[in-house]
Amino acid sequence: MHKNLILLCCTLFLGVTFVYAQKAKTKPATGNQSLLWKISGKDLKQASYLFGTLHIICPSDYLWTPAMQKAFSASKKAVFEMDMDDPSLQSSVTAGLMLKDGRTLKDFYTEEEYKQLTDIAAQNQIPIQMMQGFSPFALVSFLYLKAITCTVPDSYEGNITKLALAQKKEVVGLETADEQIKVIEAMNVDTIAKAVLRIASDLDSFRATYAQMLSVYKKQDLPSLYQLIIESPDYRDDLNALLFDRNEKWAPAIAQMAKTQSVFVAVGAAHLWGDKGVIALLRRQGYTVEPIQ
């Protein structure tokens, strides 16, 4: 099971991986409260769609409206951050998160810190001994499971992939597993290790933050969700690698795919909003991108 969680961890590039103990300083997002956006105009013969996901969510919180289903059914291809039906995806992600420099998870902490981490792991049934060969980043998924209120979470990527396969739609990715792993490798691993320890040491605050983020997501308030992300101290030095650089690559790729057929693009919600978000980038290319309520 831990390998499946590691795969889920990698797909957490939703822009919410290390959002921690933040208080939203946001204003009502009048007219922008939608997770679903239609792309049209310019050189497109048919509309395509953008959908913002939250990668770990309880079934009772899962939001999938008739408008979302209609847009998906009208599309010919499902597009994710990675190719979710690639049989080699799990092994590629798992291998990519393995430590390659001879270090073990224990080496990222002082003796006192590691004892603290192992004690917390034991109290919360986190299999830390099985994670010794993995980057500290791989612990993120286990921490998220402690932040949610259900035992078995849902996954938008998993559910939409099942819908796509049932409707015989092609499933593709905007980037490869290796490209996502390179983003992780570009981050300061020692900083990640400290963030993981801080989150683990204050799970109540982490749960409260996740609940706040979930509330904003269920209101389909992309601006407020985006604000939570960019104000996170754990993201400040990595926003370009995690969000902006990837958005710059994705927007033209999405436009190119949309020229040939209608596509339904489902990526982490934080990628959509902001001056450097996919919505703004597509608009600057001359496309009309508008919310669907």
pLDDT digits (tens, 9 = 90+) for 104-113: 999 999 999 9
Most confident of 3-12, 196-205, 237-246: 196-205
Q: Give the residue, 9 or 173, on which the prediction is more confident.
A: 173
Region 257-263 average pLDDT: 97
- Cα(247)–Cα(15) distance, integer angstroms: 12
Which of 40-49, 220-229, 243-252, 255-264 comes out lowest in average pLDDT?
Answer: 220-229
pLDDT of residue 16: 39
**What total of structural domains would you count in the chain?**
1
Residue 10 pLDDT exceeds 70: no
pLDDT of residue 233: 61
Region 43-63 average pLDDT: 93
Which of 46-60, 129-143, 246-260 comes out lowest in average pLDDT?
Answer: 129-143
Q: What angle do CA 281, 158, 189 make, to 5 degrees?
A: 65
33 three-state secondary structure: strand
Helix, strand, coil percent values for the chain (each to nearest 5) = 50, 10, 35
Percent of the chain scoring above 90 in pLDDT: 45
15 φ/ψ sector (left φ>0, alpha ψ -120 to 50, else beta) = left
| Domain encompassing residue 184 | 2-15+24-291
Residue 12 pLDDT exceeds 50: no
pLDDT of residue 168: 95
- Cα(54)–Cα(181) distance, integer angstroms: 20
Residue 54 pLDDT exceeds 90: no
**In whole numbers, what is the pLDDT of the chain averaged over residues?**
84
